Amino acid sequence: MELRGVERAEVEGKTVLVRVDFNVPLFNGHVGDDARLVASLPTLHHLLERNAKLVLISHLGRPEGKVVEELRLAPIAVRLTDLLGRPVRQLDDCVGQTVADAIADASLGDVVLLENVRFHREEATNESGFARALAKPGDVFVNDAFATVHRAHASTVGIADHLPAYAGLLMEREINALSRLEDPKRPYVAIVGGKKARSKLGALRDLVSRVDEILIGGGVALTVLRAIGADVGDSAVDEALLDEIREIEAAANRENTAIHLPEDMVIGVELSPDAEVRTCSARAIPPGWQGFDIGPATVERFCERIRAAETVVWTGPLGAFETEPFSDGTRRIGEAVAESAAYSIIGGGETGEAITRYGLADRMSYISTGGGACLALLRGKQLPALEALRA
């Protein structure tokens, strides 16, 4: 996919609206992980070096169209000021006359951060008047928020109807890295984990016709195991998905795509650092116990498949990695991917967080900043915000 890159944009002396992805964790009023802010810096520096005035637009969390004090962007402005080495002015809203006046009063080279765009319900519905109001202060629009490209929102799609639109440097880097999966080297192995099977069901359905093997762990595996008749104790499963999962399994058989499920699991009565821990068959978890990580036999088998792969895509941790007794599976699979000669794509979100935590980030071919967007692209889905940036 060829995009209109920001290098083509005439931004000298202009007000540039930049859709960034600053949806980062906040802890006690401070940014807990600034990786997404750091990822935006090349585009921001590129524009500032060309004497543009920057107006940054982002969401944070899911306020569902209401002002949520804990989801204001003020802590992000503080951290971005440090990263950029220049003041970032944070406004109290993202549209309206006060916002327009503040942007007009700013000088070339200034950076203004608008308030959480999702405080307005019109953002998610891409309401035309709201998109027009967002676009009004700008001369040029740059979309550098890859993690949002699967959303047809006002700040990702609507603004592009009113201003010349370009892809930021991060956006281009994401698309270039993921485009290698259009004709991947094989064997092509997908690793699918995460807490909820529902969030990965569409990916599983589409990946069976694209990859050679799928390794399934995390909470996703427990629902899949339940669908094939396994006893999973008191593990969280989505009973409503069982028929669909059986259909996906049948599709995988037709496509000759191997699906590998856990043989054993690390279980506990509760998810706690002090929990009693056992390892048992993944198909015979006792009542009262829950599966929280893949077991050592599963790790070995998954590592074997990874070592044989030429291309690996990984989305979703394989256990509750944030809680130490249940982190080993995700860590060891991360190490196997890092040691592999395969081209490896990590699908952002919690998977990227885990890889970074274990000090493996620089040993992966690419870590995407967008979990959902990365999955949608891998599945061959049309991404609304990208369509607006096509060359």
Q: In angstroms, how far is the first alpha carbon of the chain from the final one?
A: 9
Q: Is 210 a catalytic residue?
A: no
Q: Hey, which residues does 370 pair with through a beta bridge? A: none
Active site residue 349: yes
**Of 79, 86, 81, 93, nearest in space to 29 by CA:** 79
Query: Cα(270)–Cα(288) distance, rounded to whole angstroms?
Result: 9
The dihedral region occupied by 208, where left means phi > 0, alpha psi between -120 and 50, and beta the remainder, is alpha
Annotated active-site residue in 168, 268, 348, 372 = 372
- Tokens of residue 381, six digits: 């889905």
Helix (H/G/I), strand (E/B), else coil: 107: coil
Question: Residue 117 — φ and ψ, nearest 5°?
Answer: -65, -20
Specify which residues 314 forms β-bridges with. 191, 346
Catalytic residue among 36, 53, 79, 331: 36
Place of tokens 């765009």: 117
Instruction: Give the residue from 382, 379, 383 showing the smallest Cα distance to 206.
Output: 379
SS (H, E, C) 321-386: CCCHHHCHHHHHHHHHHHHCCCEEEECCHHHHHHHHHCCCHHHCCEECCCHHHHHHHHCCCCCHHH
Catalytic residue among 50, 196, 301, 379: 196
The active-site residue, picked from 334, 349, 352, 370, is 349
Does residue 200 carry a catalytic annotation? no
> Is residue 372 annotated as a catalytic residue, yes or no?
yes
* DSSP H helix total and E strand total for the chain: 14, 19
Dihedral angle of Cα 199, 383, 25, 345, to the nearest 10 degrees:
80
Q: Which residues are catalytic?
A: 36, 196, 349, 372
